[in-house]
Structure 1
Amino acid sequence: MPVPGGYYIYSTNRRDINVPMLFSPDLEQFTLLGDAMPTLPHWAQPGLTWAPEVTKVHGQYRLYFTARLKRSRTQVIGVAVSDQPQGPFVATRQPFIQMREFGGAIDPAVLNAPDGREYVYWKNDGNAVGQPTYLWGAALSLDGLTLAGTPRKLLAATESWEHDLVEAPQVVEHQGTYHLLYSCADFGDESYAVGHASSSSPLGPFRKTREAPILASYGQVAGPGHSHAFQTASGHWHLAYHGWEAGSCGYPRGRRSLYLSPLQFSGRQATVHVSAHAH
């Protein structure tokens, strides 16, 4: 998350931290600051806090995150509130999005549209229960704590390289076009990749723009995905994503690292200029 003087980075939990939070002044040097959400909500199982997203809403900050319901294998999306980007974030008493009839909900991301409206995007966790996966979107309430409209189905896996699974959606706007970046296939192997679709509206209809992913395994980086597009202080677009080291995919032997690559938009197209430098 860009802020004056640098960038905050939030990540999936580790053993002793619910939401690890780092700060970088230049996207080269990174300092671990601690836990952005030190106390989990009562409904969440410890040790399973994934895919955090932080956005500013009317002078406050909202942390959207994935967690697993207690006494259940269902994953849902929660939201937490803070007056500052480093937290501590305090979660609301109930999950934000559940979709239990579709296997649960994961991978939240928020768009602050040019007209001042906000939208949230996510994936239903259908593959966890043998159902299809879809990408969804909906308008947010003014306080960012509830949905302001009926969820809309935006995209499904239709291409062979998507391996029947789409997830990790993010929508960004550039010169009037809404770009949907999403991940597909299996995050635990080299098939994981990033796809792209575009629309003239925040909630679609979105059309896939290529017959191949815009980011796939390259060099020593295997299975790049769960990306996040952002603009630097100079206005340049970059894509942050994780990737395995080639030959060491998947847990427990593999380890995912953070990568940053320049991102370019041109009309309805998007291009990632890959780099093999891990952070």
Structure 2
Amino acid sequence: NGKYYMYFPLKDQNDIFRIGVAISDKPEGPFIPEEHPMKGSYSMDPAIWHDEDGEYYMYFGGLWGGQLQRYRNNKALECAVLPEGDEQALCAKIARLSKDMLSFDEEPKDVVILDENGKPLTAGDTERRFFEASWMHRHNGKYYFSYSTGDTHRICYAIGDNPYGPFTYQGVILTPVVGWTTHHSIVEFKGKWYLFHHDSVPSGGKTWLRSMKVVELEYNPDGTIKTIEGTASK
């Protein structure tokens, strides 16, 4: 509709994460925020996907400080509960957006990541399970859900046949970098694919002082992504 929408995490008066939306006539802003957070929103790290069917979807969620462990079935718990060991890992969330882009058009659903045996990843599988920083892109008809593993400092990905999944785990896109998080995005430009991410090399490892990095992302003939070595291994 000629408008630009920016989605962002915010904390309400009770220190609870919600997701807000601000609107502008130009990509550089200024953006004017809506008066209230999106109804039914929680946690953090919103990422928007515009599918070929014309619909817009939001992926969101993050563990620990992202507060995802405070919810089950989109309802707040009295006490946070983090699964452990062989229990199923907490999932990122997906919800189709309303036509005006200001609200969810459905209840958020789990973004389930399966292992090589078709079983959901477990909470103890910290090298592969979702932690935060959802992203979606499409390549050769397949949907690539990528994310950070948080405390194990990887960007991993899983492939599915539609925006909702389920998605089957495929591997590591980026090995650990210098710094804590590895939030990212993946875009195509002039026929090539690029991974944008950040690290803390210029600040000497100060995790709150991050720099933007970009590197070309390459696919193998079978559609899997070639692993990129992060700065922590250099």
- Asked whether the two chains share a fold, i.e. TM above 0.5, the reply is yes
| Alpha-carbon RMSD | 2.6
Equivalent residue, structure 2, for 1:260: 214
Given the superposition, is the C-alpha separation of residues 130 and 271 from structure 1 closer, same or farther in structure 2, using an over 3 Å criterion? farther
Local SS of the residue matching 1:116: coil
Equivalent residue, structure 1, for 2:86: none
Given the superposition, is the C-alpha separation of residues 90 and 247 from structure 1 closer, same or farther in structure 2, using an over 3 Å criterion? closer
In structure 2, what is the Cα distance between the partners aligned to 1:87 and 1:244?
27
Equivalent residue, structure 2, for 1:79: 21
In structure 1, what is the Cα distance between the partners aligned to 2:230 and 2:45?
25
1:191-270 aligned within 5 A: 191-210=152-171, 213-217=172-176, 221-223=178-180, 225-232=182-189, 234-245=190-201, 248-249=204-205, 251=207, 255-266=209-220, 267-270=222-225
In structure 2, what is the Cα distance between the partners aligned to 1:145 and 1:89?
14
TM-score for both structures, normalised by structure 2: 0.75
| Deviates most, 192-201 or 142-151 | 142-151
- Corresponding position: 1:61 with 2:27: no
Equivalent residue, structure 2, for 1:131: 81
Q: Residue type matched to 2:7 in 1?
A: Y
Give deviations 1:180-234, integer Å, cap 9, x for gaps.
0101123xxxx31111011010111111112xx321125xx455611111122x1
In structure 1, what is the Cα distance between the partners aligned to 2:92 and 2:39?
13
Given the superposition, is the C-alpha separation of residues 270 and 223 from structure 1 closer, same or farther in structure 2, using an over 3 Å criterion? farther
Deviation at 1:131, TM superposition (A): 2.9
Equivalent residue, structure 2, for 1:30: none
Q: Residue type matched to 2:47 in 1?
A: A
In structure 1, what is the Cα distance between the partners aligned to 2:15 and 2:201?
29
Deviation at 1:242, TM superposition (A): 1.1
TM-score for both structures, normalised by structure 1: 0.64
In structure 2, what is the Cα distance between the partners aligned to 1:193 and 1:74?
27
1:155-166 aligned within 5 A: 155=112, 158=122, 159-162=125-128, 166=131
In structure 2, what is the Cα distance between the partners aligned to 1:59 and 1:249?
41
Equivalent residue, structure 2, for 1:176: 141
Deviation at 1:136, TM superposition (A): 0.6
Greater RCO between the two (CA within 8 Å, min separation 6)?
Answer: 2
Unaligned runs of at least 5 residues, structure 1: 1-57
Given the superposition, is the C-alpha separation of residues 271 and 59 from structure 1 closer, same or farther in structure 2, using an over 3 Å criterion? farther
**Number of equivalences:** 202
In structure 1, what is the Cα distance between the partners aligned to 2:180 and 2:127?
12
Deviation at 1:247, TM superposition (A): 10
Give deviations 1:78-130, integer Å, cap 9, x for gaps.
1111111111111111111555xxxx410000111112111110005235764
Tell me which protein shows more strand as a share of its residues.
1
Given the superposition, is the C-alpha separation of residues 246 and 90 from structure 1 closer, same or farther in structure 2, using an over 3 Å criterion? closer
